[in-house]
Amino acid sequence: MSAVYLGNDRDEDILQITQAIQRAFYGAHRPSNENLLPENIEYLKNSFHQTTVEEVNQILSALESEPTDATLLKFSATRLFDLFPDKRHLILTPAYAGTYPGLETQKVFHVSAFRNWSEDTRRVIESVCKEKNLEYMIGYEKLEPNIMASVWKDICSASWIIADITLLNPNAVLELAIAQALGKPTLIIHQHAMIQHHFPLLLKTRTHAYNTHEGENAFRKLLHQFFDGAQD
């Protein structure tokens, strides 16, 4: 973040400090060259433009006229979510620029360790995604240098998450936590009979044991049920 040099003009100094704080919290962060504002404004417009509430139209018009005002965006979004609590939105200010699930192509992000045993699992999931006309993504294929920023964006853009926590791989568990924090529909799978015994934090979370060698048909059925149930 660039330095802010203050002068002798009180009003101008306050304005510079305010803008610097906005950039620091809501603009392009050190780990990312991207900016969160335009996509967030577009999301609000798409989500609320059909309402007949006049206050909503006023808020959206204000955002269009001041697209770089991060503070206005935050307070506007908070007000919109207060007006429509049934939408169950959550405001986050992450270090990485995110994105939203696409309206045309829906994506599935597969959380998994990169191991020999995971290849059969990947093959089945990718096959079912093709059957459902869904775009399949898996983290370890990406070559981007900033791994966490890439994973964050993929999870944000996904409509569904399939998290394989076999052997409790630390990266897989972290990505599962991110998906749960974002409220993504998530299918937790593993090849252990009693994963909760090894990971007590999942005691009250539904998980699914699977076996691609002896029970591939059952695993495919589970995946279809997950996607069909999430689309209802």
Q: Calculate helix-pair angle for 216-231, 118-131, nearest 10 degrees.
A: 50
* Burial of 105 per CB tally in 10 Å (0-12, 13-18, 19+): exposed
Inter-CA distances, 153 with 139, 142, 176, 204, Å: 10, 12, 14, 28
Asked if residue 146 and residue 55 are part of one domain, the reply reads no
Closest CA to 171 of 141, 124, 139: 139
Q: Which amino acid is at 199?
A: F
Q: Which residues of the chain have pLDDT under 50?
A: 232
- Predicted confidence at residue 128, as pLDDT, reads 97
Asked if residue 198 and residue 122 are part of one domain, the reply reads yes
205 found inside a domain: yes
Asked if residue 170 and residue 62 are part of one domain, the reply reads no
Asked if residue 60 and residue 19 are part of one domain, the reply reads yes
Asked if residue 226 and residue 114 are part of one domain, the reply reads yes
Final residue belonging to a domain, choices 87, 119, 135? 87
- Counted domains in the chain: 2
- Predicted confidence at residue 97, as pLDDT, reads 76
Asked if residue 112 and residue 32 are part of one domain, the reply reads no
- Predicted confidence at residue 230, as pLDDT, reads 61
Tell me the residue range of the domain where 206 lies: 107-231
Asked if residue 222 and residue 179 are part of one domain, the reply reads yes
93 found inside a domain: no
Residue with tokens 């965006």: 73
Asked if residue 121 and residue 83 are part of one domain, the reply reads no
Asked if residue 203 and residue 132 are part of one domain, the reply reads yes
Report the 10 Å Cβ neighbour count for 64. Answer: 10
Indicate the DSSP class of residue 201: G
Q: Could you report how far apart the first and last alpha carbons of the chain are, in Å?
A: 44
Asked if residue 26 and residue 120 are part of one domain, the reply reads no
Size of the chain, expressed as the number of residues it contains: 232
101 found inside a domain: no
Closest CA to 172 of 189, 196, 150: 189
- Predicted confidence at residue 103, as pLDDT, reads 76
Pairing label, strands 160-164, 208-209: unpaired
199 found inside a domain: yes
- Predicted confidence at residue 2, as pLDDT, reads 65
Asked if residue 121 and residue 79 are part of one domain, the reply reads no
Inter-CA distances, 49 with 19, 61, 87, Å: 28, 10, 14
97 found inside a domain: no
Is the entire prediction scored with pTM above 0.95? Answer: no
Residue with tokens 């059909």: 50
Final residue belonging to a domain, choices 18, 52, 87? 87
Asked if residue 145 and residue 81 are part of one domain, the reply reads no
